[in-house]
Structures are given as C-alpha cells and as structure tokens.
Amino acid sequence: MEQYIIFKSQRNAYLFLIAVFFIWSLYESYKVYVYHSRLNLFPCLLLVTACLIQTFSQLILTRNAVKDDDESFMNGPLVKIIVLSCAVFSILAAIVAAFLFMGVRA
C-alpha cells in the first residue's frame, strides 16, 4: 500500500510539472508573438527533457522487466529505444542550431 501511495504522489507531481512547463512554454510563445521579444527556450527545453527522461526510463524498465521472461515473445522495445534516441539527437541538433542562429546578428 505504501508503494502505491508513493507512486501516486510521484505521478501527481510529474503531471503537475508537465502542465506547468506546458503553460510556461505557451506564455513565452505568447510574449514573443505579441511583444516581439526574444524567445526563452528554457521552459521548452525543460518540458522536452522531462518527457524524454520519463519515456527513456519507462522503455528501459520495460526492457529489463521482460529480459529474463521465457514466456515473453518480446525482448524489450529495442526499436522504440533506437527511434527515440534518434529523436533526442535530432532535438539536440535543433537546439544547438537555434542557439547558433540566435547568437548571429544580421
């Protein structure tokens, strides 16, 4: 019962943080659109990082849980991990490119 309570409280905190980062990202986008100010990528970066950490940990824990199971036909979501890794590297490349382009003055 105690583990269920801990899991439920961690889930509630995670959902709260995701909602706050999403609203903060929308607010920053609104400020850029209305006031033509510079985009603050920090809330967007935190939101993407939190989602990626949660997805990676879920995939790895699922893979480790069914690794020694003889009845399981699936040896873990290896393809999902590979695709998600490619997505992470693409996002990182886009972030680096955005910082480079923001630093260049025309």
pLDDT in tens, 50-103: 877 887 777 777 777 777 766 665 555 667 777 878 888 888 888 778 777 776
pLDDT in tens, 7-23: 888 888 888 988 988 89
Residue partners of 72: CB distance under 8 A and separation at least 6:
66
Indicate the pTM of the whole model.
Answer: 0.59
Identity of residue 49: T
Secondary structure (3-state) at 39: coil
Please, are residues 75 and 66 in contact by the beta-carbon 8 Å criterion? yes
User: In this model, does residue 25 exceed pLDDT 70?
Assistant: yes
Sign of the dihedral defined by the CA atoms of residues 48, 54, 57, 59, in that order: negative
